[in-house]
Amino acid sequence: MQYIESDTIELKEEMSKDLMKEVVAFANTLGGKIYIGISDDGEVIGIKGIKEQLEVISSIIRDKIMPSVINYVNLQKKTIAGKDIIIIEVQRGEGKPYYLKDKGMRPSGVYIRLGNTSIPVSDKDIWLMIIKSHGITYETTRSLKQNLTFLYARNQFEQRELEFKQVNFKTLGMIDEDGLYNNLALLLSDQCPHIVKAAIFEGDNKTKFKHRQEFGGSLLRQMNDVYQYLQMHNHMDTTYEGLRRKDQYDYDPITLREGLLNALIHRDYGVGGSIFVNIFNNYCEFVSMGTLPDGLELEDIMEGVSKQRNEKLANIFYRLELIEAYGTGITKILSVYNGLSVKPEFKITPNAFILRLPKLNQLEEYMTVEDTHEAYNSSSDLGTEKHLVNIYDREAVIEDIKKTIKINGYIMRNDIQKSYGFSQTKSGNLLREMENLGIVIKSGKSKNTYYQLCK
């Protein structure tokens, strides 16, 4: 048999002080065998006092490595051409990360096997090992910051008539069993350390900025602020066919919304870096840290398969009616480009998920937002004027309702349901909000209830 070092084989002429490093590396990776008494070039040299050495190796494996790998290691003696060697067979462990007890759970103590070398692991990869092995997630880990405020998040909940008090935090998944804030609470807090960096570039590369801005605070604030930024820079061309006006955005607001929500909800907050939102001449790009969760492939998400990295965060967005159901965002984005010559690009790197949306105004076959997207605003029974409005922009919808009331003198809940595709509850809540803000006044009763602008 020819002995050659590889990702699963380590050769040593004699027992050395770095032997435990090799055991740790194999236990943290795919497992492997360590041959003691064979030189680097594969020559069988043999060792003396094999019985004593087996006892020493067994002792240091038991005492020098944490957590215990004793159940994953098998020691055996073998005689080749009259020469004794020791074989340490290490299986892949289930309790990763394994580390050198005297070094601790840090890069100097945690190793993995790469090729025929054992190398230290970065802090980031140690964290990923913990997550994969123990089912621990970033959002459920206790926050290092406990002095948190939730002014913006509370406002968002109250706008939707949802309670957001200390007594609700346990149900929302924001506190642990000791009543302390976890990282989900940190993400929703005004002190959230993660940010979104947005930029407008000249051309289709990152050589020259036209504008850039950073957005911080609660993830809910970042969501609203970044979306407004995108809409502000989402150029709209206006054309006329006779007396009919047609408006066409560079990017369908639905795709911008879903791209942004996908980046915020699914990013890996356990690693460093920011979310990037970049607008170039011919495409818009969302870059979110973290590759796909284990067991999920690009083909899966294209078919609407969803696996939540941040399950509790996604549930918060669901409660706030910001997402409808898991796995629908990609489908919505793809539907906008149905029948067009260009398609969105989804790219997965070892550390990021990238979505690129082609610009629509460059496409002759793309008609108008009004013609191609019924999800915005179906024809209203009130009057003949039709307004193009993004139904996910609350302020824009309120302004659109005010225009409709000015034209027709009043509006009813059923009219909002028909015009915007909202549910009965959502339409009623919106009108109630406008009433509380002093925008409209309610008259009539039951089915005959209608709303007029306050004078």
Q: Going along 280-349, which residue ranges are E strands? A: 283-289, 345-348
Q: Which residues is 88 bridged to in the sheet?
A: 34, 75
Peptide linkage before 107 cis (omega within 30 of 0): no
Q: Measure the CA–CA gap between 128 and 121, rounded to whole angstroms.
A: 11
Question: Which listed CATH number (3.30.2320.50, 2.30.30.230, 3.30.110.70, 3.30.950.30) goes with 9-122?
Answer: 3.30.950.30
Task: Note the pLDDT of residue 399.
Answer: 87
- pLDDT by residue (tens digit) across 176-210? 888 999 999 999 999 999 999 999 998 888 888 88
Task: Note the pLDDT of residue 63.
Answer: 93
Q: Say if residues 99 and 110 touch (Cβ distance below 8 Å).
A: yes
- pLDDT by residue (tens digit) across 257-286? 999 999 999 998 987 789 999 999 999 999
Q: Measure the CA–CA gap between 285 and 402, rounded to whole angstroms.
A: 34
- Which is it for the CA torsion 144, 146, 152, 154, positive or negative? positive
Architecture, CATH, for domain 196-371: 2-Layer Sandwich (3.30)
Q: Say if residues 329 and 323 touch (Cβ distance below 8 Å).
A: yes
Strand, coil or helix: 45: coil
Q: Which residues is 100 bridged to in the sheet?
A: 65
* The pLDDT of residue 241 is above 80: no
Q: Measure the CA–CA gap between 213 and 229, rounded to whole angstroms.
A: 9
CATH class of 375-453: mainly alpha
Cβ contacts of 194 within 8 Å, gap of 6 or more: 187, 219, 269, 274, 275
* The pLDDT of residue 374 is above 80: no
What are the residue boundaries of the structural domains of the chain, listed by start? 9-122, 196-371, 375-453
Q: Say if residues 420 and 373 touch (Cβ distance below 8 Å).
A: no
Helices (H), 97-218: 123-134, 151-159, 169-172, 183-188
Q: Which of 264-278, 293-307, 315-329 has the lowest mean pLDDT?
A: 293-307
For the record, the structure tokens of 149 come out as 């405020």
Region 240-253: mean pLDDT is 78
- B/e letters for 10-24, b = 16+ CB within 10 Å, e = fewer, are bbbeebeeebbbbbb
Task: Note the pLDDT of residue 365.
Answer: 54
The bridge status of strand 275-279 relative to strand 196-201 is parallel
Task: Note the pLDDT of residue 446.
Answer: 80
Task: Note the pLDDT of residue 429.
Answer: 85
**Helix (H) or strand (E) segment spanning residue 197:** strand 196-201
- To the nearest whole number, what is the mean pLDDT of the chain? 86
Distance of CA 241 to the CA centre of its chain: 43
- pLDDT by residue (tens digit) across 443-453? 888 878 889 99
Cβ contacts of 412 within 8 Å, gap of 6 or more: 449, 450, 451
Q: What share of the chain in percent tops pLDDT 90?
A: 49
* The pLDDT of residue 386 is above 70: no
Q: Measure the CA–CA gap between 99 and 207, rounded to whole angstroms.
A: 44
Cβ contacts of 174 within 8 Å, gap of 6 or more: 181, 182, 184, 185, 188
Could you tell me if residue 217 is left (phi over 0), alpha (psi between -120 and 50 degrees) or otherwise beta?
left
* The pLDDT of residue 416 is above 70: yes
Distance of CA 447 to the CA centre of its chain: 44
Size of the chain, expressed as the number of residues it contains:
455
* The pLDDT of residue 367 is above 60: no
Region 216-220: mean pLDDT is 96
Task: Note the pLDDT of residue 220.
Answer: 96
Helices (H), 135-269: 151-159, 169-172, 183-188, 219-232, 253-266
**Which is nearest to 129 in space by CA: 107, 145, 147, 150?**
107
- Cα-based distances in Å from 227 to 102, 261, 269, 277: 49, 10, 20, 10
**Which is nearest to 173 in space by CA: 157, 159, 186?**
186
166 or 379, which is more confident: 166
Task: Note the pLDDT of residue 382.
Answer: 39
